[in-house]
Amino acid sequence: MNAQLLRIGDDIVALHAVVTDEGVTLIDAGLPGDRRILQEALATAGRSLDDIRGIVLTHGDSDHIGVAEWLRTEHGVPTFVHEADAGRARGDKTPSASGGAWKLGPTLRFLGVAVRRGAMRAKHLGEVRTVRDGEVLDLPGAPEIIGLPGHSPGSIAIRIPAVDALFLGDAITTRHVLNGSEDVQVGPFSDDPAQTPESLEKLRALPERTIVVGHGPIFHGTAAEMLASLKR
């Protein structure tokens, strides 16, 4: 299978597209103002919105669902989310976890990006398709769902061997959006941060060497190497 990974957005808030001969799978949906950058990224790969077959959310928080409802209502693109986070994605449940220690500069940059890219216009999903741990979805790249509760009850890792990647969402961060720390660490705003390292152990033996997070640079190395670097 020919497959290409597109990183869209930036290290503050990123979404990703897996482009294959069969079409495109989006991993997370960024912020509501990301329509243009999504279209531009797909165009560089010779694709369009009509090639998107589905969106898979690493979890249901508002900075990961940005363009999903627009794609659902305007282009018929379904969104897949773990059953334990379906309520978040629909707006039925609101997370309230603390972000932890912060510094003025990084926090202002995060807020500036969020506002500029439409965070205040976030729209929850009117309809989702739920997934469970262990499923392999019938979408381009054959995404495999691995439950990673901790950041949220329905956080997942998404394994796509075709692009040598594991997508972890906010389970970890490689650049903390509130204080700028570049340590590999559990992501802020986590419901149960103590649970995340235990959940990550499920990934230890996997061979993929591209660890993709929602906030911060990609970690180049295996899950075992990422775990060795994880700040405890």
Q: What pLDDT is recorded for position 122?
A: 84
At the top level of CATH, which class does the domain 3-229 belong to? alpha beta
Six token digits for residue 109: 């940059």
**Where along the chain do its domains lie?**
3-229
Q: What pLDDT is recorded for position 133?
A: 97
Please report, for the chain, how many H helices and E strands are present, in that order: 6, 13
β-strands 79-82, 52-56 pairing = parallel
What is d(CA 128, CA 121) in angstroms, rounded to the nearest whole number?
Answer: 19
Three-state DSSP class for 56? strand
What is d(CA 148, CA 204) in angstroms, rounded to the nearest whole number?
Answer: 13
Amino acid occupying residue 222: T
Its pTM stands at 0.95
As a whole number, mean pLDDT of residues 111-135 equals: 91
User: Residue 40 half-sphere exposure, CB side, CA atoms within 13 Å?
Assistant: 7
What is d(CA 174, CA 30) in angstroms, rounded to the nearest whole number?
Answer: 17
Give the tens place of pLDDT for each residue, 188-230.
999 999 999 999 999 999 999 999 999 999 999 999 999 999 9
Give the tens place of pLDDT for each residue, 185-198.
999 999 999 999 99
What is d(CA 55, CA 37) in angstroms, rounded to the nearest whole number?
Answer: 16
The pLDDT of residue 44 is above 80:
yes
